[in-house]
Amino acid sequence: MKGFNGMEPSFKQENVIDKEERYKAFLRQFASLIEGETYKISVLANTCAALKEAFGFFWVGFYLVEDGTLVLGPFQGSVACYRIRKGKGVCGTAWAEKQTIVVPDVELFPGHIACSSLSRSEIVVPLVVNGEVRGVLDIDSDQLNAFEGNDQKYLEEIVRLLAETLYE
C-alpha cells in the first residue's frame, strides 16, 4: 500500500533519507494536496494525517483560536486538551508571542500543559494571517530534543501554505 499521496513507504521516517530531504519531498506533495481546497477542517485534518504518516510524529494537531481561546481542532494521536488559554503552555505562549517555539524538554518549560505524560519535546508554529494568529500547529515527540532548525523552517513553510490556502 502506498503512503501519503501515493508515496512509496521509503518516505517514512525509519528509512535512511535525511529529515531535510523528507521535508522537501513532503512540501512538493503537500502543495498539490491542499491546492484549491478551502474547507478548513478537511485541510487541517489531512495535514495532520500527512505529517504523522510522513514523519512518524507522536502527536500532531491544530488548536484554533475561537472566542479568545485555543480550541482543539483536527489532530492525530492520543487524547488531547480541549482548550488552552492565551499565554498558557507552549501553544498559548506561541499564540501570545506570534512566533514558533521549540521545546527540547517539555519538563523544563515553565507552565507546560501535559496532555500526555509521554510527550518529551514539542514544537508549536502559529498560523498567522494578516498579523493575527488564527491557530497553532502543535507537534509533540516522545523523544527529547526531537526538533531542530530544519523542523522549524519547513513546518513554518507548511503553515504559510495553509494560511495562503485557507485565508487568502
**Residue corresponding to grid cell 530534543:** 145
State how far the Cα of 58 lies from the Cα of 141, in Å rounded to an integer: 5
pLDDT in tens, 83-110: 999 999 999 999 999 999 999 999 898 8
Global pTM?
Answer: 0.89
Sorted by sequence, the CB contacts under 8 Å of residue 40 that are 6+ apart come out as 166
Amino acid at 59: W
Domains delineated in the chain? 4-167 (3.30.450.40)
Instruction: Mean pLDDT check: name the lowest of 3-7, 30-34, 42-46, 62-66.
Output: 3-7
The separation between CA 52 and the C-alpha centre of its own chain, rounded to angstroms, equals 9
Asked if the model's pLDDT at residue 2 lies above 80, the reply is: no
Q: What 3-state DSSP class applies to 62?
A: strand
The whole-number average pLDDT for the span 52-60 is: 96
State how far the Cα of 124 lies from the Cα of 155, in Å rounded to an integer: 9
Instruction: Mean pLDDT check: name the lowest of 7-11, 81-85, 114-118, 140-144.
Output: 7-11
State how far the Cα of 42 lies from the Cα of 88, in Å rounded to an integer: 27
Asked if the model's pLDDT at residue 52 lies above 60, the reply is: yes
Q: What 3-state DSSP class applies to 51?
A: helix
Is the Cβ–Cβ distance between 20 and 150 less than 8 Å? yes
Per-chain mean pLDDT for the chain = 89
Q: How confident is the model at residue 119 (pLDDT cuts 50, 70, 90)?
A: confident
Residue 4: predicted pLDDT? 53
